[in-house]
Structure 1
Amino acid sequence: MVRNIMYSLDERIEEMDVNYKKVLGNLAANLAATTLKVRSRYFHRIGAAGKGSLVFYKTIPGFPNHKIFSPGRCYPIIIRHSNCLSSDDDARRDPRGAAIRILSEGKSPLLDLTLKTGKAFHARTIGDFATWLVCSAAAREEHVKHAPHVRDAMWGSLRQPDSYAELHYYSNFSRLFRFENGQEMYVRFKLRPFNKNIAEDSGKVEPMGILPPDTGSIPRDEKDTRPLLFLAEDFQCRVNSPDKVRYVLQLQIRPVPEDASITEIALDCTKPWDETEFPYMEVGEIIIDEMLTKEESDGLEFNPFFRCHEVDVIRATSYNQSASLDHGRSVVYEICQHLRNSKPLPETWRIFLDRTDVKLDFSGCPMAAKLEKKELGKVTLARTWIDIEDGGFVGSRAVAMPGVTVESGGKLNALSLAMKGEIVG
């Protein structure tokens, strides 16, 4: 076999096995198709962003010497708060996000961290995540009967807040810290309000069923008369106030296990780490003192693969490994960002997408793929549910998965799922 040297390879894709590439490719292609249709982010579409600084405390007890997370260091940062699915109303019950970019002294990206409300995520692997997207509500409810922590993760992520600045945000996914003494440890991040009186369950939504509605975002209360984008307005007012917006950055660290099975447990993002065994360490403060314009905010491209040697992404080779979701999503992020901003797709990504079960129209545009021009209505929160026509997936949320078989014209549900390799886990 002769490798094609006319394009640069993506190391993240090259180290994946065949099934991992298949699952990730179909997921990326489906989200790319939706990105082309709405010309916007699929998740976390609206929000507010600002910039400021991250200042590490002069002393951090119990924390080994680290080149980046070093006592007394100060970095410029950018933060973007957002709603996960709600693209038209801040009063909806919805997970909220806090994406942080740490910049070097020369203002180049050093590290991106993506955090959200809730101490856990609902899918352990990229296979679980892709399966969840195509499962019916009945299949999901059946699944959480045997995995109640997944139900807790779904409801625990929802918030109905008065302010982005009064929430606690968690990374859920783990990173690899490399210390100056050669030691390696796993780390999870947390952002809490500077005011210690703001509890972790601030804005919490009480469960009203087995799982939240399929949209993941329950409509606002009928008596709620606040403006549609009141969270963005509140954030701007706070940034422009004398007190600014302030957070405390916290870390949990734990040794890298030698046993592979224990590693899978440690990296499982559906389960938070025991805070008694791995307590949070407060390492620094974030101060946001300047707003970004809507155009600047919309143009931000956060990516988990913006990392450095000292704070690295943990790799996976299979779609059923705990690290596969964080590893794989960085590829999806970049592909969708290129399409959203009409940037040229590298040839290696074009080939990657061409080999999936989802066919994208890349004709008619030298910069990036564009679908046939159609009259677009108002972009809303709605995500079309999945119908099956002639055995193929249609609808904005369809994810073609290897080994999924359905009857022509039928609904995809638990009985019609035939997953090879136990993707559901």
Structure 2
Amino acid sequence: MIKNTMHSLDDRIEEMDMKYKKIVGNLAANLAATTLKVKSRYFHRIGVSGKGTLKIYDNIKGLPDHKIFCPGKSYPVIVRHSNSLSADDDARIDARGAAIRILSDETSDSSLFDLTLKTGNAFYARTIANFATWLVCGLPAREEFVKRAPHVRDAVWTSLRHANSYAELHYYSNICRLFRFEDGQEMYVKFKLRPSDENISEEAGKVEPIGILPPDTGAIPRNDNDTRPLLFLAEDFQSRVNAKGVRYIFQLQVRPVPHDEAARDVALDCTKPWSESEFPYIDVGEVNINHNLSAEQSEQLDFNPFLRCHEVDVIRASSCSQSASIDHGRSLIYEICQHLRNGAPLPEAWKIFIEQSDVKVDLSGCPMAATLMKKDAQNVTLERTLFQTLWISVGEGGFVGSRAIAMPGVRVEVGGSLSALSLAMKEEIIKSR
């Protein structure tokens, strides 16, 4: 194969093997089609945001010298809270999010790095292949899977929260980064944002399971006797910021990078939280939010896991079966969708990446691609449904290019066999036995 050197390449794509590219490409194309149609985010659609400061403590115990998290330093920060799936009613039981942007200084909008945190100390998919398969499979297949991987079931339920206030919940990164210290040492790190009030425990808003897994929507309707406004969480956050501000404690959880590749993949597994007794959380600073952003400013925010720096880096992956594949893959998907949502020019490498997927997306709304499309092409076209396209990538046996296509609207009943799950999920089940 000969590379086209007439356009700039994206290292994230070049590092992926063919199966990894196929899965990420199909996910990106499907979400891009939805983004073009609705002009909004796919997940965490509506949010409320504020700006303030991250003040690093003068004395940090248990952390080697670090250029960013240096005692006494202070950084401007932006925090955006949101619900995972529910964009119309804050009273629904849902996962809650806290995206954080740490800026380099007050005079610049440049970001040191972005973090995306959520309620619950684990995620339900270890790899990007697992994530894509989870989207494809219906509830029966997922329930069959979690019976053999109960920690995944726990990750789903512990992410859901009853909420009275965004400011009274604990938020976790789940996916870790690579920390580089001043002495050259490297460690894995996870991040946490907790309320400044120590009386608010990690169990705040906990949802007791009412079945094997929540309903397909993931957002359970509010109780009939709940009379709170639809967007009361946003209103509460803004009121708190206007009154006395909102204060959080910023925490880190670090562990040495294992020498063995298999051990590193286990450490990066975001479906299993690290032991807090072995790797305790370290309080490194306080986040004080004292200025509300307008709805328009909040909508314009783009949080991207690939916004990072040398000292707080993203861990790369080359295969969709590696634990690091989620952060690596989603950074590309996020950025493609953000460009399309904002009407920004789409780099040629990304355009080609989408065009090579199994999804036919009309990019006439993309500034760079507009001249290549017919003038009368105005509607978004998606020749296959999300379920059909992803099934090609992660369907029977997990082989890319398989022509086993799930019929739209039909859920796969698993029964005693696991034919509905991809090879990647089958391997996870075998490991969990």
Tell whether the structures are fold-level matches, with TM greater than 0.5: yes
Task: Structure 1: give runs of 5+ residues left out of the alignment.
Answer: 376-391
Cα distance in 2 between the residues matched to 1:339 and 1:396: 22
Is the counterpart of residue 227 in structure 1 residue 229 in structure 2? yes
Q: Secondary structure at the match of 1:41?
A: coil
Q: Secondary structure at the match of 1:81?
A: strand
Task: Structure 2: give runs of 5+ residues left out of the alignment.
Answer: 396-403, 429-433
Check conservation: 1:358, 1:400, Cα contact below 8 A: no
Check conservation: 1:314, 1:323, Cα contact below 8 A: yes
Check conservation: 1:342, 1:368, Cα contact below 8 A: no
Is the counterpart of residue 401 in structure 1 residue 404 in structure 2? no
Counterparts in 2 of 1:157-306, with a 5 A limit? 157-241=159-243, 243-306=244-307
Cα distance in 1 between the residues matched to 2:165 and 2:15: 42
Is the counterpart of residue 411 in structure 1 residue 410 in structure 2? yes
Q: Which amino acid aligns with 1:315?
A: R
Q: Return the offset for 1:417.
A: 3.4
Check conservation: 2:56, 2:73, Cα contact below 8 A: yes
Q: TM-score, normalised by structure 1?
A: 0.91
Higher share in helix: 2
Check conservation: 2:132, 2:394, Cα contact below 8 A: no
Judged with a 3 Å threshold, the aligned counterparts in structure 2 of structure 1 residues 418 and 91 are, in CA distance, closer, same or farther, namely closer
- Give the corresponding residue for 1:43: 43
Check conservation: 1:54, 1:77, Cα contact below 8 A: yes
Cα distance in 2 between the residues matched to 1:198 and 1:419: 40
Instruction: Choose which of 141, 147, 150 in structure 1 pairs with 2:149.
Output: 147
Q: Return the offset for 1:364.
A: 6.2
- Give the corresponding residue for 1:381: none
Q: Secondary structure at the match of 2:339?
A: helix
Q: Return the offset for 1:64.
A: 0.5
Misfit runs of 4+, over 4 Å:
367-375, 395-398, 407-410, 420-424
- Give the corresponding residue for 2:9: 9
Q: TM-score, normalised by structure 2?
A: 0.90
Q: Which amino acid aligns with 2:4?
A: N
Q: Secondary structure at the match of 1:35?
A: helix
Judged with a 3 Å threshold, the aligned counterparts in structure 2 of structure 1 residues 409 and 270 are, in CA distance, closer, same or farther, namely closer
- Give the corresponding residue for 2:325: 324
Q: Return the offset for 1:265.
A: 0.9
Judged with a 3 Å threshold, the aligned counterparts in structure 2 of structure 1 residues 5 and 409 are, in CA distance, closer, same or farther, namely closer
CA offset digits 1:105-127 (Å, max 9, x no partner): 24211110110000100000000
- Give the corresponding residue for 1:75: 75
Check conservation: 2:389, 2:405, Cα contact below 8 A: no
Q: Return the offset for 1:186.
A: 0.3
Check conservation: 2:119, 2:160, Cα contact below 8 A: yes
Task: Give the alignment's Cα RMSD to 1 decimal.
Answer: 2.2
Alignment length, in residue pairs?
Answer: 409
Is the counterpart of residue 25 in structure 1 residue 16 in structure 2? no
Q: Return the offset for 1:25.
A: 0.6
CA offset digits 1:22-62 (Å, max 9, x no partner): 11111111111111121100000012000000000001012
CA offset digits 1:259-282 (Å, max 9, x no partner): 111111100000000000000100
CA offset digits 1:199-235 (Å, max 9, x no partner): 1111111111110111110000100000000000000
Q: Which amino acid aligns with 1:308?
A: C
Taking only the aligned residue pairs, the percentage that are identical comes to: 64
Q: Which amino acid aligns with 1:154?
A: V
